[in-house]
Amino acid sequence: MTEVSIWTRGRPHRFAELTAPDDGDDQLALATMAFDALAAVGQDLFEPLAVNVEIVCCDSELRIPLDEPRPAAPFHQLRLRSIPDTVQVPKVWTELVVSRCERLDRDAVLGWFGALLAEQGCVRSGSTTGWSEMLVEAVRARLPGAATALVDGNELPVSHGAGLVHYPVERLGNGLWVAGPLATSHDTAPFEVRIVNEAGVLSMDWSLNWSPWIVADGAGRPDVEAALRRLSALGWNVEPVDRAWSPD
């Protein structure tokens, strides 16, 4: 591997979908399926620094979001209490309610999620409290083997646009990790994940943003394929071909 680059255009996305059982109207159960999918994709590859969720009032029977009523506080973020100083966690919505925890593990996230669903109070007849979206836009990613050889001290030279970023590297356990997005560059997160809940149908959009996990011979491509196999093992229908997205 001669260099690592951050793709700012034409980033490949991987897509997957899961349909809940016909009686799957338990919103916390749907959140559990979504988080377990996120954890399966991220295993040994990346970990979220923050999880964002939109809480909505849903039709009790159809499970679709309602325009009215609306929760008093629909937008929430749970983030790690300790995040590298070089990282800027995106504020993905206005009027975002931010909570903090020591570890973003399954118990912490689902406990937080369950409390949000319980407290929002969609009290109108025929409505129930649900959620429509889970977003992860700040992560810590483990550098794949060949990329670690490019690390110079505690920095990794990374091509970004027309320039070069000396990206901070963390030594954690037996691996080298990079966290983003950087406070100085908003589009530098190695991965981003969006999971949408539409009436019990969950869809995942996983954005791959750095070259080691994108290019065909990239050091991280086997890790991406392994992540997709784990997702399939959970019952998700993974689309076999990358679909590229390019910003305007």
Question: Mean per-residue pLDDT for 77-86?
Answer: 97
Token representation of residue 14: 């991987």
> Using one digit for the tens of pLDDT, what is the confidence trace for 44-53?
999 999 999 9
Instruction: State pLDDT tens for residues 172-221.
Output: 988 999 999 999 988 999 999 999 999 889 999 999 999 999 998 999 99
Nearest to 48 by CA among 195, 202, 229: 195
Please check the confidence at residue 243 and state whether its pLDDT lies above 60: no
pLDDT band for 143, please (50, 70, 90 cuts).
very high
H/E element, 28:
helix 27-42
Rounded Cα distance between 38 and 49, Å, is: 13
User: Where are the chain's structural domains?
Assistant: 4-204+216-242
Greater confidence (9 vs 42) lies with 42
CB within 8 Å of 106: residues ≥ 6 apart = 35, 36, 39
* Banded pLDDT at 247 (limits 50, 70, 90): very low
- At 106, is the pLDDT very low, low, confident or very high (cuts 50, 70, 90)? very high
Give the pTM.
Answer: 0.93
Residue 11 has pLDDT above 70, yes or no: yes
